[in-house]
């Protein structure tokens, strides 16, 4: 995840330019050839797989129309009716819930590690936070199903019967498994990613400006407010996008706590479904006509969503790195 | 003049000090908050899973019926290692070569490959499962351990490329200049200098990639599917720890299935942590060239 942190090193480029005219020796030619063939081959195979998935899903898009499929409200394999809307809705909603919970916590963790704790303590803290990412999705799901959902059920019920009476979006039903439970689990899973990117962003803000603020008698909060946050803003956007990119792809843990209900739920406490979780849950039992193709079509939609969100995140991060690199 | 300097040295106002303390307090709370789920999961797994684990748990296969007691998870452990092992064999050389390509080739093509690898790293693993399903499983006509390995290899590939590339980039300047000064060809440089020097770092990337692949469930659902018996035949469906946990967890109303899921989850987390911490320890203890480039 730390690729591209240093700009492609000037150390390496400068001498190479002076040797451009030097004849490549056979070994070098071979190395380049092998590296080129392997790289091109691996990328071609993966591109072929993408193409093949789209091709497999094509009858579904043809049958319902791309827009029709995306906005279709009904998912009824028994009647060969397939609409992606309930799942798109669930993916976006659970992703949003996860971001609302995870981003403030991650930013504060990044501040704690880079600005407040001395490196000797900050480093181990960062590693422990990173370990959250090492817990397999299925283990989060197991814990979520048997511990988290029962624990948050009374809370869901309380909110639904107080605030929820005024705001239907927070109202009942509150069976336990819900968009909210899924969002909460996803939040725990993306905190390490958002925190790691944010940490790098904060660490790369220029030292001179920080010290200037401290020299003027500023507090640590002044440093954060007037240097770290303004300069790191673009990087923060990248961290959020990359976190969202991870959130929409979370599958198994979500499948176990989201409630598996192929309808658009009116409340965040309703049971629902996401793109990834319906694929995981229905694929092995998909025997109705067009059902496997429709699930693959959902996968293609998820692929598109992931490429857009992550691509945007990567581009924004690269832009931030370039500007931060100049500032140093 | 002196008065102005004194004004700067004056202690900050109470409101601003409060603000500064508040942010420290909030940051500390947030950090502790992140530790809660980790501690909760770890504590829960140990308390629920440790009692399940004994020698039989590792040396016997599960009963065909999820609700039946007894048996172990031998087939799942074996399947996980078989598939992760083959995936490593596929992904490691390709990943290292792509990293060399990225380190050597700049310009638009290099940037495009790097971007592709970054996107691949962030791709939902379930989508990778679908890829392999449509290309391999459909073509073969059945699920197989090989298809599972391929899916895991695709998931490991970007992790290996990114970490290896980073290691090449972090090589200290004197080493780079030394290879130039000696007039080494590029392939010699990589073979005799860069790869050996960066080896512990490359190994770390491998271990982290394995620790990620071992915990993946979603891509295996469409590729290796899982089974109930011990198998070393990669051309047949193959069980894996995450698959076993998933299926048993969904039937956790049965005490036997629940216990099996807990024991297997504890085992899986132990394996993942082992690879993960081993990798981190390696890179921490032997960063190429010490303070290189950081």
Please name each of the domains of chain A with its CATH number.
69-327 (1.10.3720.10)
Ramachandran angles phi, psi of A76, nearest 5°: -135, 85
Q: What is the ipTM of this complex?
A: 0.89
Nearest neighbour of A310 by CB, restricted to B9, B29, B119:
B119
Instruction: Name the residue among A39, A113, A129 with its Cβ closest to that of B97.
Output: A39
Partner-chain contact B246 A138, CB within 8 Å: yes
Which pLDDT belongs to residue B106? 77
Three-state SS across chain B? Answer: CHHHHHHHHCCCCHHHHHHHHHHHHHHHHHHHHHHHHHHHHHHHHHHHHCCCCCHHHHHCCCCCCCCCCCCCCHHHHHHHHHHHHHHHHHHHHHHHHHHHHHHHCCHHHHHHHHHHHHHHHHCCHHHHHHHHHHHHHHHHCCCCHHHHHHHHHHHHHHHHHHHHHHHHHHCCHHHHHHHHHCCCCHHHHHHHHHHHHCHHHHHHHHHHHHHHHHCCCHHHHCCCCCCCCCCCCCCCCCCCHHHHHHHHHHCCCCHHHHHHHHHHHHHHHHHHHHHHHHHHHHHHHCCCCCCCCC
Contact B246 A252 (CB under 8 A): yes
Is a pLDDT exceeding 70 seen at residue A11? no
Alpha-carbon distance B205 to B160, whole Å? 5
Segment A107-112 shows an average pLDDT of 93
Give residue A28's pLDDT: 78
Choose the closest CB to B245 out of A134, A138, A218. A138
Closest partner CB to A311 (pick from B119, B258, B280):
B119
- Segment among A46-55, A103-112, A200-209 with least mean pLDDT: A200-209
Check A39 against B28: CB less than 8 A apart: no
- In chain A, the residue whose alpha carbon lies closest to the alpha carbon of B268 is A136
| Shortest Cα–Cα distance, B215 to chain A (Å) | 5
Encode pLDDT of A243-295 as tens digits: 999 999 999 999 999 999 998 988 899 999 999 999 999 988 888 889 999 99
Percent of chain A with pLDDT over 90: 52
Position B285 scores a pLDDT of: 66
Distance from CA of A52 to the nearest CA of B (A): 6
Which residues of chain A are within 8 Å of residue B16 when distances are taken between CB atoms? 219, 221-222
B222 touches B129 (CB < 8 A): yes
**pLDDT tens digits, A239-253:** 999 999 999 999 999
Listed residue (A259, A243, A307, A254) closest to A280, CA to CA: A254
Q: Could A251 and B20 be called an inter-chain contact, meaning their C-beta atoms sit closer than 8 Å?
A: no
pLDDT the model gives residue B103: 86
Confidence grade of residue A306 (pLDDT, cut at 50, 70, 90): very high
- Looking at the whole model, is its pTM more than 0.90? no
Nearest in space to A202 (alpha carbons), one of A64, A307, A308, A106:
A106
Are B166 and A219 a contacting pair at CB < 8 A?
no
Please report, rounded to a whole number, the percentage of residues in chain A having pLDDT higher than 70: 91
Quick count: other Cβ atoms within 10 Å of Cβ B287?
A: 18
DSSP state letter for A23: P
pLDDT in tens, chain B (294 residues): 344 444 444 555 777 778 778 888 999 999 999 999 999 999 999 999 999 999 999 999 888 788 888 888 999 999 999 999 999 999 999 999 999 988 888 788 888 899 999 999 989 999 999 999 998 998 888 999 999 999 999 999 999 999 999 888 888 888 888 888 888 888 888 888 888 888 888 988 999 999 999 999 999 998 998 888 888 888 899 999 999 999 999 998 899 999 999 999 999 999 999 998 888 887 776 554 444 333
What pLDDT does residue B11 have?
Answer: 54
CA atoms within 13 A on the CB side of B219: 31
Count residue pairs from A and B with Cβ separation < 8 A: 265
Contact residues on chain A for B127, CB-CB shorter than 8 A: 53, 249, 299, 302-303, 306
pLDDT at A15: 52
Residues 115-174 of A with CB under 8 A from B: 116, 125, 127-129, 131-132, 134-143, 145-147
CB contact under 8 Å between B10 and A217, yes or no, is yes
* Cα(B86)–Cα(B284) distance, integer angstroms: 27
Phi-psi region of A135 (alpha: psi -120 to 50; beta: other; left: phi over 0): beta
Look at residue B188 in the predicted model and tell me its pLDDT: 82
**Chain A residues 288-327 with a CB less than 8 Å from chain B:** 296, 299, 302-303, 306-307, 310-311, 313-314
Q: In the prediction, which pLDDT does A243 show?
A: 94
Chain B CB within 8 Å of residue A184 CB? no
């Amino acid at each position: 995840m730390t690729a591209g942190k240093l700009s492609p090193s000037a150390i390496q480029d400068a001498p190479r330019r002076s040797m451009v005219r030097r004849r490549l020796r056979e070994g070098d030619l071979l190395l380049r050839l092998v590296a080129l063939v392997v790289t091109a081959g691996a990328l071609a195979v993966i591109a072929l797989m993408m193409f093949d998935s789209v091709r497999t899903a094509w009858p579904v898009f043809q049958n319902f129309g791309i827009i029709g499929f995306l906005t279709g409200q009904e998912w009824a394999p028994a009647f060969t009716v397939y609409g992606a809307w309930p799942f798109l809705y669930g993916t976006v909603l659970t992703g949003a819930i996860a971001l609302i919970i995870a981003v403030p916590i991650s930013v504060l963790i990044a501040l704690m590690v880079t600005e407040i704790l001395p490196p000797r303590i900050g480093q181990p803290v960062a590693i422990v936070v990173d370990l959250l990412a090492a817990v397999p999705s299925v283990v989060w799901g197991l814990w979520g199903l048997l511990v988290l959902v029962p624990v948050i059920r009374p809370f869901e019920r309380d909110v639904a019967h107080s605030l929820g009476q005024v705001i239907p979006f927070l109202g009942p039903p509150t069976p336990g498994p819900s968009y909210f439970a899924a969002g909460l689990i996803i939040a725990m899973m993306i905190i390490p990613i958002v925190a790691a990117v944010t940490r790098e962003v904060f660490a790369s803000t220029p030292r001179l400006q920080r010290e200037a603020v401290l020299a003027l008698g500023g507090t640590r909060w002044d440093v954060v407010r007037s240097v770290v946050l303004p300069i790191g803003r673009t990087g923060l956007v990248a961290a959020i996008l990359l976190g969202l990119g991870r959130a929409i792809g979370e599958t198994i843990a979500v499948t176990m706590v989201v409630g598996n209900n192929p309808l658009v739920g009116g409340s965040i406490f309703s049971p629902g479904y996401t793109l990834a979780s319906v694929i995981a849950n229905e694929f092995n039992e998909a025997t109705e006509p067009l059902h496997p193709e429709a699930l693959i079509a959902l996968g293609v939609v998820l692929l598109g969503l992931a490429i857009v969100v992550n691509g945007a995140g990567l581009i924004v991060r690269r832009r931030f790195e370039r500007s931060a690199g100049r500032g140093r | 003049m002196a008065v102005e300097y004194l004004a700067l040295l004056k202690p900050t106002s109470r409101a601003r000090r409060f603000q500064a303390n508040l942010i420290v307090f909030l940051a500390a709370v947030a950090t502790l908050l992140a530790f809660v789920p980790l501690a909760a999961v770890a504590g829960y797994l140990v308390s629920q899973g440790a009692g399940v684990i004994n020698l039989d748990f590792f040396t016997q296969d599960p009963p065909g019926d999820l609700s039946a007691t007894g048996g172990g998870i031998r087939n799942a452990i074996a399947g996980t290692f078989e598939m992760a092992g083959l995936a490593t064999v596929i992904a490691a050389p390709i990943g290292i070569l792509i990293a060399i390509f990225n380190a050597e080739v700049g310009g638009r093509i290099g940037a495009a490959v790097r971007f592709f690898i970054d996107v691949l790293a962030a791709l939902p693993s379930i989508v990778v499962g679908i890829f392999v399903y449509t290309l391999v499983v459909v073509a073969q006509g059945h699920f197989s351990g090989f298809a599972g390995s391929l899916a895991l290899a695709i998931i490991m590939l970007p992790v290996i490329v990114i970490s290896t590339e980073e290691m090449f980039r972090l090589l200290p300047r004197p080493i780079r200049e030394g290879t130039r000064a000696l007039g080494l060809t590029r392939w010699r440089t990589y073979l005799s200098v860069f790869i050996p020097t960066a080896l512990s770092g490359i190994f770390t990337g491998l271990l982290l990639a394995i620790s990620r692949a071992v915990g993946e469930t979603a891509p295996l659902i469409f590729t290796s599917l899982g089974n109930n018996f011990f198998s070393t035949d990669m051309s047949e469906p193959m069980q894996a720890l995450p698959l076993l946990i998933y299926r048993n967890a969904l039937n956790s109303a049965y005490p036997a299935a629940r216990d099996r899921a807990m024991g297997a989850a504890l085992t899986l987390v132990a394996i993942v942590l082992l690879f993960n911490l081993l990798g981190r320890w390696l890179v921490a203890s032997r960063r190429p060239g010490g303070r290189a480039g950081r």
